[in-house]
């Protein structure tokens, strides 16, 4: 589903280019649950943003579901992203002025889904995540774990093919973190492709493959499920 070839990304620091991603090549198949790990500043978030089409690489090729994303204009990238990708953030990033229900509904609005369908889709997710009772509350009235639950609900309500999660449990207590990871496991079992960034080896175990970044390169790419090790 995802094919990255020689992806590079730099930021300007003064007059100098500082390369965050130097040469990343990676293939991820549909249905995989991949964990990206690496020290702080390794470029994990940058990579995730590129995969999520929020950011663009400065070099290399990116093919998503057989479509050459690196050749697309903003409008087509936006279309792809809108229909196939869901985001979960460390800081939840719910919209403060919207209720739980409205937060979950928002992506459907931007996809132009009709009112009736929207209602049933949101209701289904609320039900599945056991947060029906909280639907009229505002984010600040929820605990961190509950907020992240809403964050995930919002990410998957549009039934995306790919879920991207940047340190989703980073702000949570252990117990809340476990609940979130269980949820990911479930989504994965239902066939969702998931890429998560985490610092926790525990969380990484929920996935079936770990990609380790260092100095802008993929240092290690191991599939834990098949107990295989390959070093690139």
Partner 1 sequence: MIKHNIKLALRSFMRHKSSFFINLIGLSTGLACALLILLWARDEMKMDKLFALDDRIFQVMEHQDYSDGILTTKSTPGPLSSALVEEIPEIEYAITIIDPGKYNLRVDKKSIRASGVYVGKDYFKIFDLPLINGNSDQILSADNNIAISESLAKSLFGTADQAIGQAIEFEGVDLYTINGIFEDLPDNFSQNFDFLLPYEPYYQENIAWLSNWGSNSPHTMVLLAQGANEDLVNEKIGDFIKKRVENSQVTLFLKKYSDLHLYGNYRNGKQAGGRIEYVRLFSLIAIFILFIACINFMNLSTARASRRAKEVGVKKTIGARQQSLIYQFLSESILLTLVSLIIALSLVQLTLPQFNLLTNKQIALDFSTDLVLIFLGISIITGLIAGSYPALYLSSINPINVLKGTMKSSLGELWVRKGLVVFQFTISFILIAAVLIVFKQIQYIQNQQIGYDKDQLVYFNRDGRLQNQIEAFFTQAKELEGVQNISSIAHNLVGQQNNTRSVEWEGKDPTLDLLFENVRVNYDLLETIGIDLKEGRAFSREYGTDSSAILLNETAVSIIGMTEPVGQRIKIFGEEREIIGVIKDFQFQSARQEIKPLFFQLVPHYSWLMMASLEKGKESVGLKNLETLYESFNPGFAFDYSFVDEQYAKQYVAEQRVGVLSRYFAGIAIIISCLGLFGLAIFTAERRKKEIGIRKVLGATIQNILTLLTKDFIGIVLFAILVGLPIAYILSKNWLNRFVFKIDLDIGYFGLAALLMLIIAILTIGSQALQAARMAPKEYLRNE
Query: Does residue number 91 form part of the binding site for partner 1 (CB under 8 A)?
Result: yes
Q: Which of 44, 84, 134, 209 binds ligand ADP (CB under 6 A)?
A: 44
Q: What is the DSSP letter of 119?
A: H
Q: Which residues lie closer than 8 Å to 154 by C-beta, 6 or more apart?
A: 86, 94, 103, 104, 106, 107
User: Residue 87, interface with partner 1 (CB under 8 A)?
Assistant: yes
Binding range to partner 1, per CB under 8 A, among 7-15, 20-28, 102-110, 212-220: 102-110
| Cα–Cα distance, 44 to 57 (Å, whole number) | 13
Question: Other C-beta atoms within 10 Å of 34: how many?
Answer: 21
CB nearer ligand ADP, residue 16 or residue 175: 16
Scan residues 32-61 and list those touching partner 1 (CB under 8 A).
45, 49, 52, 54-55
24 binds partner 1 (CB under 8 A): no
Q: Which stretch binds ligand ADP (CB under 6 A): 36-44, 59-67, 172-180, 183-191?
A: 36-44
Instruction: Report DSSP letters for 186-222, one per residue.
Output: HHHHTT-EEEEE-S-HHHHTTSSEEEEEETTEEEEEE
The reply to whether 42 sits near ligand ADP by the rule CB under 6 A is yes
Give the rounded distance of the alpha carbon of 139 from its chain centre. Answer: 20
Task: Give the footprint of ligand ADP on this chain (CB under 6 A).
Answer: 11, 20, 38, 40-46
């Amino acid at each position: 589903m995802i094919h990255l070839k020689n992806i590079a990304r730099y930021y300007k620091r003064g007059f100098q280019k500082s390369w965050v991603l130097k040469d990343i090549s990676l293939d991820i198949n549909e249905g995989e649950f991949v964990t990206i790990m690496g020290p702080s500043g390794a470029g994990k978030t940058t990579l995730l943003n590129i995969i999520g089409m929020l950011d663009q690489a400065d070099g290399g090729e990116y093919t998503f579901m057989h479509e050459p994303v690196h050749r697309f204009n903003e409008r087509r990238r936006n279309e792809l992203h809108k229909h196939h990708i869901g985001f979960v953030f460390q800081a939840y990033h719910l919209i403060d002025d919207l209720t739980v229900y409205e937060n979950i509904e928002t992506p459907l609005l931007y996809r132009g889904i009709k009112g009736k369908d929207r209602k049933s889709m949101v209701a289904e997710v609320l039900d599945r995540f056991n947060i029906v009772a909280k639907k009229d509350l505002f984010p600040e009235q929820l605990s961190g774990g509950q907020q992240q639950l809403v964050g995930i609900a919002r990410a998957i309500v549009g039934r995306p093919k790919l879920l991207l999660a940047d340190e989703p449990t980073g702000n949570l207590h252990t117990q809340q973190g476990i609940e979130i990871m269980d949820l990911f496991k479930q989504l994965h079992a239902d066939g969702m492709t998931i890429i998560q960034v985490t610092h926790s080896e525990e969380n990484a175990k929920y996935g079936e493959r770990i990609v380790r970044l260092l100095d802008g390169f993929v240092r290690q790419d191991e599939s834990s499920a098949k107990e295989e090790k390959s070093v690139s």
